Chain A
Amino acid sequence: MKEQRVDEVEDQISKLPEPILHHFMGLLLAKDAARMSTLSKTWYAAWSSLPYLNFGDRFFYREVRGRWILSENIQELVHIVDQTLANRKKHKISVQKFWLKVPSSYRMSSSYVHNWIKILVTSNIKELILKVGESDSSFDSLPEELFVAEGLNILNLRGFKLELPLHHGIKFSSLRNLRLTDTYLDEKLVQDLCASCVCLEKLRLSCCRGLASLQIAASLLKLKTVWLCCLPELQIVDIAAPYLENVYIESQLWNLQVVKITCSKSLKTLYIVDVYVTDGWLKDLLVNQPKLECLSLSGCLKLQAIKISSDRLKYLALSWCLELIDVELETPNLTHFRCECDENLPTLKLMKASVFLVVELEFSLTNILDSHWYSVLMKFLGNFKQSKAIKLDCCGKNGIVIPKHMRENLVPPLYGTNTNWHIIFNTFGDCSLMDILDSLLWISPQIDTLTFVRESNLNSTLKFIYEDASAEGCLNSWNELFDYRRRKELHLLAGDDEEAIADIEKLLMVSLLFGAFKEV
């Protein structure tokens, strides 16, 4: 065995069975796969019988000085696609997968696209990805024959108009994955789709026009995932598919007025963006969806008070819910909490969370910060005494830098806990790294590790080692406790931010030991 390897490098790849060669070639662009036909007879045969044709997004376009423009020789390119499909038909190879981005119908006659679709449907195509290159307000038409593609599993269309076929119904009986972008479709068509696509598992609609109301019927028994993203005319959504697990709804400019989700207790993931959901709506949802593991509410401007009591919830994100006042969480398995807001920090009561909780905070502060802000912030941070890590994006403002005179009236919220801090520090802000570090060390005296990431992706992680493991002692003098010299050692676990390291050494009057510890 060993001798073989030393003496010659054998051509192993050509010995693989053709279906496996087809798998690799199908992952390449048709151009790359076709090129391989010159390698040897095995590869020529593999290309000729390749049922996966990924012409890709760039086939009709070429790059000129960094921009993509339509190629001049469209006729030639059309001919290549024609030939490739014709060769396969001649040798009775059924094309299974076909991907192509085409110029819009005012640049290239739509008859070519219609023709290809007809050929592919008769070839029992399984996966079809067809996109129109130019994005404008027009929609190209599709041949009726598309709707009888009974073998189709995956359909991804962009820039077309879907119209009900006149001569026969929709026959997508094997369709599992449907993705429509920049598409025009109406409610009747959606109804017919729901009726025929009994195998549908994933539905994704982005920037689709023509729908004021969308009903995802209860007949879609296999539907697990729904993505609705920026449908500009959509006002009402009624999702009745009974076994849905993942729902993502992003409204356009808060157009969406009514969201009804009536799946039966199966929901695991829910993302809502820019919808005016109310406290009552959320409360009902939480009662009806006990299996919810991942909840993200963004731009839900009507929410004021959130109360969640759940064993299953692992991930919670609250972003820009600007009217939010109260958040109460009893979530023993919560491992990830994200909060993005402005100066109006909600009151948080974290009654129960996992010890592995990672907290991500992003504050966008524009106003001058007063003692009220710092007081609220300290109470907020005090919730994370048992947490594993806190990640803070400073957004350039001094939100975390507590002026020294205000510290007298406040209690360090993370005193006594070994927190891991991760700071994303924007160098264009109005506070220095030293100020942030000084404040952090006050907030979190027994800090365990501190990672700084500066905007230019310079990264450094420090680990703090203490003289006495339990830093309990008399609390007579804060100064005594926060005397940096009591820290025995400071290890630099990883770091390429030399400027920051120099600053830190200056502040703490220690010299940093490099990489003595394995990365935690």
Chain B
Amino acid sequence: MITLQSSDKDVFEIEQSILIQSGTIKNMVEDDFTFIPLPSVDTETLIKIIEYMKKHADKTDSKEKNIKEFDKDFMKKTLNELFALVFAANYLHISSLLELLYPSIADRIKDKITEAIRQIFSIRCDFTPEEERRIIMDNKWAHEGTEIEGTLD
């Protein structure tokens, strides 16, 4: 059993066999660590990560369909939750989870006009108006034809 500690100081005891899906944890386990602090992962996110790893630990054929259903539902989260997961999965080197997260987030960007993306992700524009105009001109081809209404998440 390995103990993980979130940034909120909550501890979780999980079997080694489940945790080796994380490249980072696997390395630490190989170096004989049994207590692993994770200062960049908060409790809420860590719980989700553990849930994911538990489901994916048992990869027998009969569970494959279940796992696919689980993955689909797992992605039904708010953007902020997905970002937290991306950070965590990146830090923990769980490539299968990242492969799942990228398209889910990309889908929310596809076909949307810039303003909609800005609203969805709360991105602050740090260009001066002249700079912004110039950039739009440089990439005029990219801005053509996006008449689609931007929708909020």
Which A positions have Cβ atoms within 8 angstroms of B?
1, 5, 8-14, 16-17, 20, 23-25, 27-32, 34-41, 43-44, 76-77, 80, 314
Give the residue of A24, A29, A38 whose beta carbon is less than 8 angstroms from that of B127. A38
Q: Nearest Cβ in chain B — how far from A74, in angstroms?
A: 13
20 further contact pairs, Cβ within 8 A, besides A24-B106, A36-B114, A41-B126: A8-B122, A10-B80, A11-B123, A11-B124, A12-B84, A13-B79, A14-B121, A14-B123, A23-B98, A31-B142, A32-B111, A34-B142, A35-B117, A36-B117, A37-B135, A38-B125, A38-B136, A40-B123, A40-B124, A44-B135
Q: What residues of chain A lie closer than 8 Å to B136, measured between beta carbons?
A: 38
**A28 to B103 alpha-carbon distance, docked (Å):** 9
A selection of 29 A-B contacts at a CB cut-off of 8 Å is A12-B79, A12-B80, A12-B83, A12-B122, A13-B105, A14-B123, A16-B83, A23-B102, A25-B106, A28-B110, A29-B110, A32-B142, A34-B142, A35-B113, A35-B117, A35-B139, A35-B143, A36-B109, A36-B114, A37-B142, A38-B139, A39-B114, A39-B125, A40-B123, A40-B125, A41-B126, A44-B127, A77-B141, A314-B61
Q: Nearest Cβ in chain A — how far from B37, in angstroms?
A: 18
For residues 69 through 115 of chain B, which have their beta carbon under 8 Å from a beta carbon of chain A? 79-80, 83-84, 86-87, 90, 98, 102-103, 105-106, 109-111, 113-114
The answer to whether A24 and B143 touch across the interface, beta carbons within 8 angstroms, is: no
**A10 to B61 alpha-carbon distance, docked (Å):** 41
**A16 to B127 alpha-carbon distance, docked (Å):** 20
Q: What residues of chain A lie closer than 8 Å to B8, measured between beta carbons?
A: 1
**A5 to B90 alpha-carbon distance, docked (Å):** 22
Q: What residues of chain A lie closer than 8 Å to B83, measured between beta carbons?
A: 12-13, 16
Q: What residues of chain B lie closer than 8 Å to A13, measured between beta carbons?
A: 79, 83, 105, 121, 123
The answer to whether A11 and B90 touch across the interface, beta carbons within 8 angstroms, is: no
A-B residue pairs, 10 tightest by C-beta: A34-B142, A27-B106, A12-B83, A35-B142, A9-B122, A11-B122, A34-B139, A24-B106, A13-B121, A31-B142
**A335 to B84 alpha-carbon distance, docked (Å):** 40
Q: What residues of chain B lie closer than 8 Å to A9, measured between beta carbons?
A: 80, 122
Q: What residues of chain A lie closer than 8 Å to B127, measured between beta carbons?
A: 38, 40-41, 44
Least CB separation from A59: chain B residue: B141
**A465 to B115 alpha-carbon distance, docked (Å):** 57
Least CB separation from A36: chain B residue: B117
Q: B118 an interface residue at 8 Å Cβ cutoff?
A: yes
Q: B146 an interface residue at 8 Å Cβ cutoff?
A: yes
**A13 to B81 alpha-carbon distance, docked (Å):** 11
**A201 to B41 alpha-carbon distance, docked (Å):** 37
Give the total of B residues in contact with A, Cβ under 8 Å. 37
Contact with A along B11-44 (1 / 0, CB 8 A): 0000000000000000000000000000000100
**A29 to B145 alpha-carbon distance, docked (Å):** 14
**A70 to B89 alpha-carbon distance, docked (Å):** 43
The answer to whether B141 and A31 touch across the interface, beta carbons within 8 angstroms, is: yes
Least CB separation from B133: chain A residue: A38
The answer to whether A24 and B109 touch across the interface, beta carbons within 8 angstroms, is: yes
Q: What residues of chain B lie closer than 8 Å to A12, measured between beta carbons?
A: 79-80, 83-84, 121-122
The answer to whether A39 and B87 touch across the interface, beta carbons within 8 angstroms, is: no
The answer to whether A24 and B117 touch across the interface, beta carbons within 8 angstroms, is: no
Q: What residues of chain B lie closer than 8 Å to A17, measured between beta carbons?
A: 90
Q: What residues of chain A lie closer than 8 Å to B126, measured between beta carbons?
A: 40-41
Give the residue of A32, A38, A314 whose beta carbon is less than 8 angstroms from that of B110. A32
Q: What residues of chain B lie closer than 8 Å to A31, measured between beta carbons?
A: 141-142
**A519 to B149 alpha-carbon distance, docked (Å):** 39
The answer to whether B141 and A80 touch across the interface, beta carbons within 8 angstroms, is: yes
Give the residue of A1, A11, A14, A37 whose beta carbon is less than 8 angstroms from that of B139. A37
**A34 to B80 alpha-carbon distance, docked (Å):** 23
**A426 to B132 alpha-carbon distance, docked (Å):** 58
**A23 to B118 alpha-carbon distance, docked (Å):** 19
- Counting chain B CB atoms within 10 Å of each CB, which of A1, A16, A36 scores highest? A36
The answer to whether B117 and A39 touch across the interface, beta carbons within 8 angstroms, is: yes
Give the residue of A14, A38, A76 whose beta carbon is less than 8 angstroms from that of B135. A38
**A456 to B53 alpha-carbon distance, docked (Å):** 39
**A13 to B101 alpha-carbon distance, docked (Å):** 13
Q: What residues of chain A lie closer than 8 Å to B80, measured between beta carbons?
A: 5, 9-10, 12
**A326 to B46 alpha-carbon distance, docked (Å):** 57
Least CB separation from B42: chain A residue: A1
**A323 to B80 alpha-carbon distance, docked (Å):** 60
Q: Nearest Cβ in chain B — how far from A50, in angstroms?
A: 12
